[in-house]
Structures are given as structure tokens and as C-alpha cells.
Structure 1
Amino acid sequence: MWQDPANPSADTMNQPQRQPQPPSSSTTEQTQEQTDDTQMQDTSEQPKKLTLLDLPPEILHQVCTHLPLKSIRSFRLTNRLLGEIGACHALPELIFYLHTTDFAALRSIASHPIYPRFVRSLIYGCDILPSPRLSLKQYVAECRRTEKRRAKMHARHACDEANRPPKPLAEVKESYREYKRVHQAQEEIIREERDYEILKEVVGKMTNLKEVMVSSDFEFRLGSLGSSSSSSSYGGHGGSGTKDCRTPFDKLDCLTQLDGEKGQEGVRHLRAIMMAVKEAGIELKSLCAGLIHWSFFNEALGNFGFHSMGNLLANLTRFELLVLPGPSQDPEDFQHADAIEMNNMSIDVMEEIFRCQELMRKGVIRNLVKGMPNLEILSIGFMDHAEDNDFIFPARLQDVIPLNHTFPNLESLKLEGLETERQELTDFVVKHKDSLMKLELRDMRLVTTSWRKLLPELRYELKTELMEEVSIYGMALGMGEEDDDQELEEWFMGDPEDHGATELATRVQKYFMDTSMGDCPLSRENMEPIPDDDLMDEDILDHPFEGLVPEHELAELILGGMQFPGGGNPFGDPFDDPSFEVPGGWLD
């Protein structure tokens, strides 16, 4: 009989309720066995292994920052997720040249949905094929000359390559066809200014770009910006920080002579990339440029320059600049020049140096540096300031550095090819001793003061725990300050990057770091001028000026034959009148 569960009958309600019975002992034993079996089964299973996919994306990005480019490429091939993460680190640094394949690669990278947003460094190599284009006969001659130089170099080092036979003429002709094609494409890019157009297009998509380098004549060493991630480049260009970085010109293995635009070294390349940076409104953190012809800074020409950048350089923490104050001279010109032509070339060099000097004294670089309050690394230099005379400098320290200004974060300071006085150099360095860790001076001239007084002063003032290195390389020119010793000072310290630092340079460096050293290492007794061999190019030594003038009289002829307005020769004893300046009318 059916009963409503909501209204049970009285009979049902009056029935006694069944009480729950405790489990029997057999039931308890059976349940315990089942529990033990379950626990044994769980403990026998292996714990789950973690994979890269189990890590948070933030950690995977950190891992990629420590991987070399080759490993990142493998990392990206794992799966789609890791491929996207790896793409953010695949191309942090791009090295490129004014070349069709390089510009095509830049455009391809810029069109990728991920790559351009994570490019931090751009390095623009200034090497181009010189103009005018060589004929086949000239190219073959250049090829044979290059092979001869290589053989001499390998023989000097006892290498097996010294016995390698010359390249067959058929291969040289094939190389010439490639050279002719590349040269023609290069001329079209320059004539139609496609380099400006492409860089504006590409840089505009690199929203995280922070570092720019323009490297002419291998200055700063391609790939040496030192970004936090692994240095890389597209198109197989070589690794970071190497002088022999591979270039798109490598297929032209017969022709190794690459160069910048004569008289305009680095100007076009620096201008093009800076215009692109300005167009994109990018605020850089690092800018390295060198060699850059001094005319880049001439605002009177009405061309784009640093003065057009506005405040986009105000946040720089690294600024390195190496200026070419005069026209570069091709060794070929010297080989085929007679004494009169060489004399004229030397006058052209000096005229440009004086023009550069006149421009620098307007403070175009000083005002630029003054607007960079966050600098940590500062390097300003002038290269090849006077190949024929060591006493004409294109700029003074006060022309390029705001001496009354303080950079609170400055850690590294390098000065090259400048003239100054002991007091102003010491004052500026001491002003930054609480942050300065490295000081390097190259090819410097103290006009009326002495290095033998400068070094003890600096050593005394820079007694801080921060200082890691003080070094002096190249020329150190000065003037004795004692009453009985007002004569020229001249020491040559070598160059660690080329022929190596001299023993004296090593002693000077130790003098600053080792407090146990007593006397200043520079003295009248150990002065030495620049070795003559270092002044002569290897090509010139291979082809002496037969029938013209003996090599040992060459420098004297160049200096003695120069004519200056008003008569006289300032090179006879340049310290007779340290304030000598070329008359302005001569420049006109």
C-alpha cells in the first residue's frame, strides 16, 4: 500500500527504529586491506616529470637571455610556444652594411610579427666598395697584389698558406662579375637614396631599439655594444666583438680593399640612421660612432646632424665618438705621387685640420655632451689628427667637454687626440672621482705643462676604492715646468690593440694601482719618440719611392716644403708660440 512520504501513517511511525550495527571484525580487516593496497599502488607510481612547458613564461624569457644564438635557434624548433618565446631573443642585435642583401634582410625582419619589437641594437658597418669601379685589368692587378701581400704575411708567420698558388684567371674573372654586379647595385642605392628610405621604414617598427653603432674602419669593433642578451646578427654575419666580422662582401675574395666615402667617412651612414631614429621618436640609451668625418658637425651646411635630434639623446648612458679631422689618404696615392704631389696632399690634410679646429672651438660637441646628464660611459677622440706632425691638434679638451659640468654617474672616461693643460684635466677628473672607475688617455698633449707633474697629482687625487684602471697610450706630449727644464716632453706608449702597449705604458698603469711604487715612471731619461716604422704604411714600405727621395728624408721634405701665410714654418719648434693659429684669410 502506497503511503505519502510526507505524511507517514501512525503504524509506520510507531514501528521501532533500526539501530546501525557496528561492523564485524571480518569487515574491518577487509577494509584495511583495501586501504593498504591503494596506498601501495599510489606509492609505486612515478612522480610527474616537469618539462620546459611547465615553467612560467617569465622564467623561459630569462633562460633565453643567457643562451647563445645557436641554442636559441634550437630552442625555437621545440614547439610553437617556445618558438614564440625564442623569437623575442633571436635577433637582439643586427649588423648590416649598405648592401642589397642586407637591406632586403632588414625589410624581411621588420615585416615579422615578433622580431622587430625585440631588436635592441643596430650596428651599421660603413664599408663600401670604393668608387669609381675598377676595370677588369685593374681588378686582376688588385687581386695579384692582395695575394702577394697575403703570401708575405703567411711567410712571416711560417704558415703553409705562403705556398698557395695564385688563383686561376678564370676564377678571378668570375669574381669580377660579382664585384661589378654588387658595385652597380651600391651606386643605385646611393644615387636614389634608398638607404634613407629603407632605414626609416625598418627603424620605425623597432619600438624597443636602445643602442645604435656606426662603425667605420672597424672602430669600436663590430658587435661590441654589449647588450644584455646574447649578441647576434642576421645573414650569418660573425659573432660579437670581433674585428674580422663577416660581411656581405666576402664573396669578393679577390678584393679585400673596402672603404668609406672619401672625405665623408661615416657621414652618410650616421645621418641616415639618425634620421630614422628621429622619425620614429626613439630615445636611445647608447650611441657609438666612428670614424666620422668632422663635416658631419657643420650645422652651417644645413644638413641633418645631432643638432636636429632634439631631446632624443638626452637619456644616453653611453656616448662614444671618434672623429676624423682630415681627409684619409689612400696608400695607393702615396705610391704613385712624386714629391710635389705628396707635399700638396700634406697641405690638404693640414688645411682640413685647421677647418675642423675652427668648428670645434664653437663648442658643437661640448654643447651636445652637456645635454646628456645620465652618462656612464663617455669617450671622445680625434683620429689621425696629424700624420705628418704630432703637434697640431684639431680640438682642445674644453672644446668637447663641459669642464664646469658634473656627470654624477660617470664610470668610464676616454679622451684621445686632444690638447689641454694639466690643471683643467686634473680638475675635471677629480670632480668625478666618486663615480669614476676607468680613465684612458691617448695621444694627448699638455700644451705648456708637464706629464711628470700630472701623474703624481692624479695618483694622489684618485685614491679611491672605485678606481680600477688608469692607462695612457699613444703619444704623451708635454712641456717641462721646471725653471731649468722648459723643454719638450715626448713619450710613446704604444697601442694594446695594434702593436701592443710598451713596457713604459704598463709601468704607468701599475703606478696608479700599486701604492708601493714610489717615483713617477716618466722621466727625461726614458723619453722616446714614435718609432719611424709605425709612421710608414706597409704598402709604402713594399713600394719605396724609387728615384724620388730617400725614405729617411721623406718626413723632413714634407714638413719643410709646406708654405704658410705670413712665411715661417710652425713645425720648426711648435712650442715657441703655443697660441699659433692659422690666419682666417688663408682658409677662405
Structure 2
Amino acid sequence: MWPETANDTPDQPHPSSNFTPIDNQNEEQPQTHDDDTQMQGQEQDDTPAASQQQPPKTLLTLLTLPPEILHHICLHLPLKSIRSLRLTCRHLNLIGACHALPELVFYLHTTDFAALRSIASHPIYPRYVRSLVYGCDILPSPRLTLKQYVSECRRMEKRRAKMHARHACDEANRPPKPLAEVKESYKEYKRVHQAQEEIMETGRDYEMLKEVVGKMTNLREVMVSSDFEFRLGSLTTSSASGSGGHGHERGAGGGGMKSDALKNCRTPFDKLDCLTQLDGEKGQEGVRHLRAILMAVKEAGIELKSLCAGLIHWSFFNESLGQFGFHSMGNMLANLTRFELLVLPGPSQDPEELQGADPAEMNNMTIDVMDEIFRCQGLMRTGVIRKLVRGLPNLEILSIGFMDHAEDNDFIFPARLQDVIPMDFTFPNLESLKLEGLETERQELTEFLVKHKETLMKLELRDMRLITTSWRKLLPDLKYELNTELMEDVSIYGMALGQAEEDDQELEEWFMGDPEDHGATELASRVQKYFMDPAIGDIPLSRDNMEPIPEDDLMEEFLDHPFQGIMPEHELAELILGGMEFPDGGHPFGNPFDDANFEPHPGPW
């Protein structure tokens, strides 16, 4: 008997499901008669008795394999092959159904919520969903007028033309969209925006997630992605070692600690191609989405193995507000083997706003950012994240970072290492560690890493500051104490700020680049080789190659290449949720919030 299907009734799926198993009811079982077996009856008199007793030959097919082996085969098949497998016959259809939807990608959108509800109503699918990926993109408020929408469309067309011209693409000569098409797009924009506001005002997103997650009894992984975080990686992230093999190959460290789920994902907003300003709630990035899905997980009593959240505005951790957060989860996260958290310490600023602002406006923006960072600092000093991490003793992958600190004052950091990591605690299974946007001392960092030298295989430091100590002393310390040549990877990216420990106490500043954005610098590559090659004895960092962050071309480069090439069609998302297209137009799922029996009761936000 294949897992957990004894009581299923797959022949009578939920009528609203678009993922009804497709059975080949006319399929005949393979015949085993061949010429040899047919001749045996005619030649009985001339055939020895021993030969007559031999069993007839059997034709071996997939149907003759035990279900356990078929399930194991499905674990190694791409989703496209699983779909084809399910079309062959009823038996393989049921086997494939257990592997058809291992991961669901969705957004705060009525179409996506309707698809989730349909999947959760199916007799098989929900119990085999292992991972939920919640994209935080929403249409910004207030809603644009038609005039503003047309203006935004023309502005984006000019930006695209400039980008394509720079790369000599044929698209550079594409004419602007006719005004009639833009107006038609605006109608859809208004409809989506109005539905979004109604959901957020009533809290129906939480109620819907509570209903859906409660049926996903084998859910083990949750990811909340804001501001394109987790979308740039090249490796998948499911914890295959702890998921019974239902996940993909696990990656860790650097770009490997990312997910393919959002790497190439279309969104339900893609038809509004004139409007590309999708983001989270300003000043509250990721907060609503993370809070809603954690509340649903707790209500369902699910113990997760993997949790990734970023960017998450720092106010999420303010327990004094009395709102639901990590402190409300109890021991529900104690079995995590993977925890990635990227915190936004200040209000996000649109590069377009910065580019068009006059000096007075720029000054006010800077003051707001600094005020937010200082408030974040005060909260982090209370140890709200440190207490959370201490309660996760089974971690194998740990990543904690802070982004977008004030670039006009590189020595203001929102948190110290000791604020977010329990320095007196040892994680016995820790294999991969990434730290970003923190300040510490080389002795403190080295002491913590040495505690984990027996298990630690990957280490990444990004945008780190040594307060009164030097990177030129830290690097040889790490290489010697950790035996880094035996590790899989040791990398330093972004800023490396410190202070020389010689008499002059010169400030240190090296820029190592970003392999996921504009690329790592040659210096970063040399540092990586220094750690991995025991024959290299000279430290790559010196006074002569100190280099501040380049400022001249970064903003122009960003505006010319807004996340180029990271949002093409994605096989999984195309099958399930965002951006689905259907032969008859529209989608097969009704608006779940139109259900007369659906009564949301907003919880404590």
C-alpha cells in the first residue's frame, strides 16, 4: 500500500479542483502471451516434462514494481515528467499525485488564494505539500488615477527602451503601447487593487491561510519573500536530509542558501506589465505576510523544519506592541534545521524618489533612516532575536542579516553579533553560517566559530564591521583555527570595515562586491582562495588595496538594470498559482471571499 492513501477516494475528487486526477479508464493491462508460450500447448508431446513445468514469461513494466520503488523514482523526476506519468494509467496517476505539488508559490491575491483553497480541498494533494512560499509583492497604495497610470506606463517604457538599447536588443525599437491597451490594463489594475484593499482591511488573508494550512499536515517548510529576497539563488533549499526525500537537493552558504521557487516565478500581477512598482507595505515590509502564515502554522499545530523570512521590517520583533510574533510560537519552531532571517532596520526608499529629491528632501530622508536604525538598535539590544535563536538547538543552516543600513555613515550598524547569536551556546549540527550587517570583534567571532569547527562547512560574512580590531588579524586567525582548507567554502562579500591594531589605529575599509548583484570583486576571489588553499600564506588584504564602496555608477546601473533576468517563467508557479493562463481565458477558481459561508474573524494583529 502506498503511503497514506488507504482511505483516499481519488475517483471522486472535489468538484472545484483544477487538479483532478486524469485516469485512463480504457487502459488494458499488458498481455504476456508471446509466440513461445502459444506453441507450448501444440508441442506438448515433443517437449520434455521439465520444460513443460517452466512458468510463462512475464513482461516487466512500471506497474509490476512495488509502490515504494515507484515513489522513490518520483522523488528524482522533474515536475513535467510527473505530470506525464500521471496521464498513463490510474495506478501511476495516484502515485504521481503524491509528488505533483511539493511546493506552492502564492501571493496576496484573490486568484492565488482561490487556487490554494482548491488544492486544500483535494483528497490527496494537501497532505503531500511540503513547502509554502509566500511572495510579499502587493500593489502600492493609494491607487493611481488613470492619468498617473498612463504616466507610469510611459516612464517604464522609456526605462525599458534605454536598457534594451544599452544591450543592443531588438526590443529597443518596440513602439509604445497604444493608449487603448493601457486603458484596458488600468481596468484590471483597479479591480486587483480594490480586491487587495478589501482583503487587507478585513484580515481575510489570515483566515484563508488558517483554513488552508490546517489541511497540509505534512507541511515542513515556509518561506516569506519581500523585496526580491531569496529570488536570486541558483540552488534549491528544501532540507532533503530531514524531509524524507520529498525536497530538492539542499544548498547552503552564499547563493546556495536560496530557493528556486521564486527565482523564475511569474506573479499574478504580470498582466499589469505597465506597472512594475510592486513592493511590500512601506515601513512594514513582510510583517503582515510573516505574521499571517505563522499564526496559521501555530493554529494547525505544525512543527516546521525550515523557515526563511526576508526582508522583514524590524518592528515585527517588538513584543511590547502585543502583536503576534516569534515570541507567540512557543516550542513550535524548536525542530527547525534551517533558519534564515533578513531584517530591514530602516524605512525603504525608492531609488526613483532618491534620484528626484532635492537636497532638503534628501536630508529629511537621511534623518528618518537614522532614527529608524537607532530604534532598531535599541530593540536588538534586548536580545529578542538571540532568545529566538537559542531555542533552535537542531539548526544545520543559520543565516541572520540586516540590510540597508545608512550608507552615508558606514559605522552605524543596527545590531551586534552578541545581540542576535547566543555566544555561550553551541549548535551541535551547524553546517552553514551566514552573517550580514553586524558589528563585532575578531576575538568574539573567532571564539564562536571555533566552537563549531567540527561541523561547520560553509561560512559567509557580508557587510561586517570589526569595531576596534583588524581584518588583517582575523583572516589568519580563521584560517588557522578552523582549518578552512578542509571546509567547502569561506567567503567575505560587501563591506569589510575594521580598525588597524597597530599604533596608528587606521580605519580599514575594503569593498568585496556582491556575487548576486554586480559580481564579486577580484579581491573577494583572492580572499576565498586564501582560505581554501593551504599553500597561500600572504594575507590578501593590505593598506594598499583598501577601497571604499563605489558610488558613482551603482545607482545608474541599478536603474538601468532593474532585476534583469530574474523573473522569467517558472515551471512550478506556472502549474499552480501566480500568472496562470487557461485555454478559455480567466481561471477556474472562483473568488474564495465570495463564498457565503466564509466568515473571517481577524486575529490579534
Bucket of the pairwise TM-score, normalised by the shorter protein: 0.7 to 0.9
Please name the residue that 1:137 is paired with.
147
Segment drifting more, 216-225 vs 292-301: 216-225
Please name the residue that 1:339 is paired with.
359
**2:66 is the alignment partner of 1:47:** no
What is the CA–CA distance in structure 2 between the aligned matches of 1:37 and 1:518, rounded to whole Å? 81
Asked if 2 retains the 8 angstrom alpha-carbon contact of 1:69 and 1:230, the reply is no
**2:47 is the alignment partner of 1:37:** yes
Code of the residue aligned with 2:497 in structure 1: it is L
Residue 535 of structure 2 is aligned with which of 516, 531, 540? 516
In the TM superposition, residue 538 of structure 1 has moved relative to its aligned partner by 5.2
Please name the residue that 2:423 is paired with.
403
Code of the residue aligned with 1:173 in structure 2: it is K
Q: Any idea what the Cα deviations from partners look like across 1:324-361, whole Å, max 9, x if unmatched?
A: 00000123432443211211111000000000000000
Residue 94 of structure 1 is aligned with which of 100, 104, 109? 104
Q: Any idea what the Cα deviations from partners look like across 1:347-380, whole Å, max 9, x if unmatched?
A: 0000000000000000000000001110000000
What is the CA–CA distance in structure 2 between the aligned matches of 1:535 and 1:50, rounded to whole Å? 62
Please name the residue that 2:238 is paired with.
226
**2:379 is the alignment partner of 1:364:** no
SS of match in other structure, 2:47: helix
Please name the residue that 2:225 is paired with.
215
166 and 41 in structure 1: CA distance in 2 versus 1, 3 angstrom threshold: farther
* Structure 1 unmatched runs, 5+: 1-32, 232-238, 543-588
Segment drifting more, 463-472 vs 204-213: 463-472
What is the CA–CA distance in structure 2 between the aligned matches of 1:524 and 1:414, rounded to whole Å? 26
In the TM superposition, residue 70 of structure 1 has moved relative to its aligned partner by 1.1
Taking the TM superposition and a 5 Å limit, the aligned residue runs for 1:549-560 are none
CA RMSD of aligned residues (A): 2.2
Larger RCO: Structure 1 or Structure 2 (Cα < 8 Å, ≥ 6 residues apart)? 2
387 and 481 in structure 1: CA distance in 2 versus 1, 3 angstrom threshold: same
Please name the residue that 1:376 is paired with.
396
SS of match in other structure, 2:462: strand
Please name the residue that 1:434 is paired with.
454
Identical columns (%): 82
363 and 161 in structure 1: CA distance in 2 versus 1, 3 angstrom threshold: same
Please name the residue that 1:315 is paired with.
335
What is the CA–CA distance in structure 1 between the aligned matches of 2:531 and 2:351, rounded to whole Å? 39
178 and 53 in structure 1: CA distance in 2 versus 1, 3 angstrom threshold: same
Code of the residue aligned with 2:311 in structure 1: it is L
**2:414 is the alignment partner of 1:394:** yes
In the TM superposition, residue 53 of structure 1 has moved relative to its aligned partner by 1.4
Please name the residue that 2:179 is paired with.
169
Taking the TM superposition and a 5 Å limit, the aligned residue runs for 1:528-539 are 528-533=547-552, 536=555
SS of match in other structure, 1:532: coil
**2:500 is the alignment partner of 1:480:** yes
Please name the residue that 1:81 is paired with.
91
102 and 227 in structure 1: CA distance in 2 versus 1, 3 angstrom threshold: farther
What is the CA–CA distance in structure 2 between the aligned matches of 1:123 and 1:222, rounded to whole Å? 15
Asked if 2 retains the 8 angstrom alpha-carbon contact of 1:442 and 1:472, the reply is yes
Which structure has the larger Rg?
1
TM-score calculated relative to the size of structure 2:
0.80
Q: Any idea what the Cα deviations from partners look like across 1:522-547, whole Å, max 9, x if unmatched?
A: 000000000013553557799xxxxx
In the TM superposition, residue 44 of structure 1 has moved relative to its aligned partner by 12
Asked if 2 retains the 8 angstrom alpha-carbon contact of 1:100 and 1:185, the reply is yes
Please name the residue that 1:149 is paired with.
159
Please name the residue that 1:187 is paired with.
197
What is the CA–CA distance in structure 2 between the aligned matches of 1:540 and 1:210, rounded to whole Å? 38
Please name the residue that 2:513 is paired with.
494
Asked if 1 retains the 8 angstrom alpha-carbon contact of 2:398 and 2:434, the reply is yes
In the TM superposition, residue 225 of structure 1 has moved relative to its aligned partner by 3.0
In the TM superposition, residue 177 of structure 1 has moved relative to its aligned partner by 0.8
Segment drifting more, 499-508 vs 458-467: 458-467
* Structure 2 unmatched runs, 5+: 1-42, 241-245, 249-258, 562-605
SS of match in other structure, 1:184: helix
222 and 241 in structure 1: CA distance in 2 versus 1, 3 angstrom threshold: farther
Code of the residue aligned with 2:229 in structure 1: it is E
Code of the residue aligned with 2:80 in structure 1: it is K
SS of match in other structure, 1:387: coil
Asked if 1 retains the 8 angstrom alpha-carbon contact of 2:527 and 2:540, the reply is yes
TM-score calculated relative to the size of structure 1:
0.82
Q: Any idea what the Cα deviations from partners look like across 1:502-553, whole Å, max 9, x if unmatched?
A: 00000000000101112100000000000013553557799xxxxxxxxxxx
155 and 271 in structure 1: CA distance in 2 versus 1, 3 angstrom threshold: same
434 and 389 in structure 1: CA distance in 2 versus 1, 3 angstrom threshold: same
What is the CA–CA distance in structure 2 between the aligned matches of 1:497 and 1:536, rounded to whole Å? 16
What is the CA–CA distance in structure 1 between the aligned matches of 2:345 and 2:132, rounded to whole Å? 25
Asked if 1 retains the 8 angstrom alpha-carbon contact of 2:345 and 2:373, the reply is yes
Code of the residue aligned with 1:226 in structure 2: it is S
What is the CA–CA distance in structure 2 between the aligned matches of 1:495 and 1:147, rounded to whole Å? 28
Residue 296 of structure 2 is aligned with which of 260, 268, 276? 276
Q: How many residues align?
A: 503
Please name the residue that 1:10 is paired with.
none
Code of the residue aligned with 2:499 in structure 1: it is M
Q: Any idea what the Cα deviations from partners look like across 1:225-251, whole Å, max 9, x if unmatched?
A: 3354467xxxxxxx9355341111111
